[in-house]
Amino acid sequence: MGAQTAVMQENAGRAGPDLNTQALRTDARRESLRLLALLSPSLLLVFAIIIVPIGWLFWLSLFDEAGGFSAANYARFFEQASYIKTFVTTFKVAFIVTGACVLLGYPLAYMLSQLPRRAASICLIFVILPFWTSVLVRTYAWLVILQRKGLINSWLIDLGVISQPLSLANNLSGVVIGMTHILLPFLVLPLYASMKTIDTDCLRAGMNLGAGPVATFRQIFFPLSLPGLASGVVIVFVLCLGFFVTPALMGGGKVNMWAMRMEQTTSLYSNWGAGAALGVVLLVVTLALLGLFQWLLGARATGVWSSR
Amino acid sequence: MSIAPSALPIGMRGIEKRFGSVPVLRDLNLDVEAGEFLTLLGPSGSGKTTLLMILAGFVRANAGSIRVGGDEIITTPPHKRNIGMVFQNYALFPHMNVFHNIAFPLKQRGVAAAETAERVEKALDLVKLQGLGERRVDQLSGGQRQRVALARAIVFEPRIVLMDEPLSALDKGLREHMQIELRALHRRLGMTTVYVTHDQREAITMSDRIAVMNGGRIEQLDKPESLYARPQTQFVASFIGESNFIPVECRNGSVWYEDRRIHTAAATPAAGQYLMVLRPEKLRLLATAEPTSGVNVLNATLSDIIYQGDSFVCYAVLRDGRQLTLRDYCRSDVLAKMPAPGQPVSFGLDAQDTILVAAD
């Protein structure tokens, strides 16, 4: 500080294009250093809990069971049909669950967005309520409801609708029902938030210009709700890809998902390299999908939706 | 498009609207002539926007009738009313470009693509946005958005156009420019227009007639010049233009302010208490305090002079403590006889500029 003041005093008598340039440049450098120093704790944290583990995971995946450096862990994905089957199942479940969430969640979010403020916040509590109980508890609850002698089957049989119990749990439908229930709020919340931002005057303008209620919804409300729907879909889809508890409990061993494969590989076979490779593949595929999605959305945003 | 769409008159009868138990419009009657530019002017909460929303069909009235031409439309849904509307925030569709925004009403009416393109082009021409059809809405300036909203509201040749404070988001220069353009466009197209604003100067500039609204009622419906020159209530006199009021009394067929007789041009109203409306530009500085024939003299003490370049404003206080305001142009003869603040001053008001209103 003292030296700086001295320089400035020294320069004070002198006028010209480079008056105090040195002092100003030093000051600018000092400011960026200070900002970096302030950022360093969070940068360290990110490095320690994200960069290092992922790097380690990647590193582990390059060693086979004997500890030798090889690409065997990756080659296995192409050689063994069971891996490909698991991969396909994972994406199949993710697509079905995401689709089910959209079908159930869109009307729900739409209703919430149209309700008066008070009623909407009360209903929102019911949407968020399941978050307060653990996934495990909710999954077991579904098992009780859906199993062969569960609530639904015994009701349906008592009512005479069916004679044989439906197989609702321990298969794909059980997994889909359980996961849809758990992931629905992740779609509804961003969708509701984006629907709330749609200008009601735009809808009024649509009607004023001759569009009936259905046309106004289809041509104005729905397109304007798409960004919120897209973020909800991305969240649900990505969460599906790594889901473990529900498919493990509700699938009855018939629905093998990627995360279950990882668990088996690491805890059953203690093959850490193979497990790490599974993690890396899931990460890369997820990132690629997100990138594709981003690119599609970006193309939509820059090119006006002029067709239609 | 350059020919007037068959403009239709609007007749509103007994419109009542309550929000809960709060009355917003009370037994409102209003006739808008075919092709007329009528402005609803009033402070916020006067019910002007609610009335416009009822006309557009977005708000349901509790009672009343709206006839357009001969047809009752009070229960017609908004999309079947065939009324164009310019919204305060424009309400352009953000996911469509300029062309598709303007083509929207034509698409709803099943107009063929070629004709749509032609009519959108003409509408863009009319609002001076030629060649901007492919622009995204967020690439437009406020003034351009305003024009797109206008083009969208008139492209389907509606029988009536409603405008809800369409210029309030623009800066002053652009607003004044758009006022003149809107006026010219209305002259050219001749559609029946109902315009809502709280800006009295804008209303006076643009309108054929102005309905001054207050507390859910129409206080006065008149041509701008009549409204200014002959306000009928204290509210109208204070809302339109600047005014000071002094209490006067009518007795024995003449008007009195304190012990002084006021010269008036109009017939003296019935005996009772009234307010005299003093417009700043109708007052002038007098050289002497002597009464002159046909001129009312008000003696006061000058409190301040504000210089505004082309004009100046004098603030003076009457003996009873009421404030007077005088505005005049900066001519050397006026400036020469200007007293200093604190000195006595005499203001003159011609008999024909005397306005009396009932006290509210």
Q: Which of A208, A212, A220 sits opposite B56 (nearest CB)?
A: A208
**pLDDT higher than threshold 80 for residue B3:** no
First to last CA, chain A: 66
What does the pLDDT read at residue B289?
Answer: 62
Could you tell me if A207 lies within 8 Å of chain B, comparing CB atoms?
Answer: yes
Residue A307 pLDDT level (bands cut at 50, 70, 90): very low
Helix, strand, coil share (%) of chain B residues, nearest 5? 25, 35, 35
Strand order, beta sheet including B22-32: B22-32, B10-19, B63-68, B71-72
Strand partners, B11: B31, B67
Higher per-residue confidence, B332 vs A9: B332
- Does domain A88-257 sit in CATH 1.10.150.20? no
- Cα angle B343, B336, B319 (rounded to 5 degrees) comes to 25
Report the top-level CATH class of B10-234.
alpha beta
Here the tokens at position B77 are: 């849904």
Residue A4 pLDDT level (bands cut at 50, 70, 90): low
**pLDDT higher than threshold 70 for residue B68:** yes
Closest by alpha carbon to B254, among B271, B237, B239?
B271
CA separation for the pair A13, A10 (Å, rounded) = 7
Here the tokens at position B47 are: 């019910």
**pLDDT higher than threshold 90 for residue B269:** no
pTM, rounded to two decimals: 0.80
Among A181-185, B60-64, B266-270, the minimum mean pLDDT is found in B266-270
The top-scoring range by mean pLDDT among A295-304, B10-19, B164-173 is: B10-19
Average pLDDT on A41-67 reads: 90
The residue with tokens 């005479």 is A160
Counting beta carbons within 10 angstroms of the beta carbon of residue A45, is it exposed (0 to 12), middle (13 to 18) or buried (19 or more)?
exposed
Average pLDDT on B53-69 reads: 95
Residue B32 pLDDT level (bands cut at 50, 70, 90): very high
Residue in B closest to A201 by C-alpha = B91
Q: Which residues contact A182 (CB under 8 A, 6 or more apart)?
A: A130, A135, A138, A139, A246
Q: Which residues contact B36 (CB under 8 A, 6 or more apart)?
A: B9, B192, B193, B208, B209
Residue A16 pLDDT level (bands cut at 50, 70, 90): low
Alpha helices in chain A (DSSP H): 2-12, 21-46, 52-60, 72-79, 81-114, 117-128, 135-146, 151-159, 172-196, 200-208, 213-216, 222-241, 245-250, 258-263, 272-302
Could you tell me if A206 lies within 8 Å of chain B, comparing CB atoms?
Answer: yes
pLDDT in tens, A67-123: 788 888 888 888 888 888 998 999 999 999 999 999 999 999 999 999 998 999 999
Residue B17 three-state SS: strand
What does the pLDDT read at residue B220?
Answer: 95
Higher per-residue confidence, A7 vs A232: A232
Q: Which of A201, A215, A305 sits opposite B89 (nearest CB)?
A: A201
The residue with tokens 């698991």 is A86
Strands B160-164 and B83-86: parallel
Here the tokens at position A58 are: 């990647």
The question of ipTM being above 0.85 is answered as: no
Higher per-residue confidence, A204 vs A169: A204
**pLDDT higher than threshold 80 for residue A6:** no
Could you tell me if B136 lies within 8 Å of chain A, comparing CB atoms?
Answer: yes
pLDDT in tens, B86-120: 999 999 999 999 999 999 999 999 999 999 999 99
Here the tokens at position A43 are: 């940068």
Q: What percent of chain A has pLDDT over 70?
A: 91
Could you tell me if B97 lies within 8 Å of chain A, comparing CB atoms?
Answer: yes
**pLDDT higher than threshold 90 for residue B123:** yes
pLDDT in tens, B183-210: 999 998 889 999 999 999 999 999 999 9
Other beta carbons less than 10 A from residue A308's beta carbon: 9
Residue in A closest to B157 by C-alpha = A209
Q: How many angstroms away from the CA of B165 is the closest CA of chain A?
A: 14
Average pLDDT on A141-167 reads: 88
Higher per-residue confidence, A83 vs A300: A83
CATH superfamily membership of B245-357: Nucleic acid-binding proteins (2.40.50.140)
**pLDDT higher than threshold 80 for residue A308:** no
Closest by alpha carbon to B105, among A206, A133, A161?
A206
Angle in degrees, 0-180, between the axes of helices A272-302 and A52-60, rounded to the nearest 10:
120
Q: Which amino acid does the sequence have at A168?
A: L
Average pLDDT on A245-265 reads: 88
- Is the CB of residue B90 less than 8 Å from the CB of residue A205? no
Domain ranges, ordered by start, for chain B: 10-234, 245-357
**What would the DSSP string read from start to end of B293-333?**
TTEEEEEEEEEEEEE-SSEEEEEEEETTS-EEEEEEE--HH
CA dist list (Å): B341 to A29, A256, B315: 59, 94, 9
Q: What is the DSSP letter of A69?
A: B
Residue A8 pLDDT level (bands cut at 50, 70, 90): low
Q: What percent of chain B has pLDDT over 70?
A: 97
What does the pLDDT read at residue A271?
Answer: 84
Q: What is the DSSP letter of B292?
A: B
Residue in A closest to B79 by C-alpha = A210
Tell me which of A199, A203, A209 to substitute to probe the interface with B (most B C-beta atoms closer than 10 Å). A209
Residue in B closest to A204 by C-alpha = B58
Residue A306 pLDDT level (bands cut at 50, 70, 90): very low
What does the pLDDT read at residue B303?
Answer: 92
Strand partners, B214: B217
Q: How many angstroms away from the CA of A196 is the closest CA of chain B?
A: 15
Average pLDDT on B310-315 reads: 91
**pLDDT higher than threshold 80 for residue B290:** no
**What would the DSSP string read from start to end of B185-251?**
HHHHH--EEEEEES-HHHHHHH-SEEEEEETTEEEEEE-HHHHHHS--BHHHHHHSS--EEEEEEEE
Angle in degrees, 0-180, between the axes of helices A21-46 and A2-12, rounded to the nearest 10:
150
